[in-house]
Amino acid sequence: MAKRRVWMGQLKSKVEDRIRTGMNQVLEGVNRFEAQGGVRGACERAKVRGERQAARLLELLDEKGIRVDFSAFGPVGHEKEQELRRHYRVLGVPYGADYETTRHAYRAQMREHHPDRHAGDPEAERLATRKSQDLTLAFDAIERYLKPR
């Protein structure tokens, strides 16, 4: 019986040591991941790898004498165009309006629907907050598409 207790105690301490070691390794991995920028850093590293691979692919195609005409793919896909049309509707401007017209409409509507203008009425403030978020989302999407690079 005494041998069994000793053996169980040794087994218990070994298991605890292994668990502790494993947890330390997990924590080290998490700390290393965070030190490299976490999820944002991982996304940036993946983007850089993708850009490098795309550049390498273009080099290889160029070496083989193969030219790729990217304009044949069109500037905007169908889903992206529908999304842009929705954003233009939210801002109340015609599809394809230039950047300045879109910006002017966005600022005018933001002045009207800013939550601070409706500070006294909680319901109106909530609706204004939602509307201003929708306007900002729409303008940001259109701005990314229109803004000169």
pTM of the model: 0.47
CA distance 33 to 26: 10
How many angstroms separate the first and last alpha carbons of the chain?
79
CA distance 142 to 136: 10
H-type helices in the chain, by residue range? 2-35, 38-63, 78-91, 99-113, 122-146
* pLDDT digits (tens), the chain, 149 positions: 778 888 888 888 888 888 888 888 888 888 887 887 777 877 788 878 888 887 888 788 888 887 766 655 545 567 788 888 999 999 999 988 888 999 999 999 999 988 888 888 889 888 989 999 999 999 998 888 877 55
All structural domains of the chain, each given as residue ranges with its CATH number in brackets, are 75-149 (1.10.287)
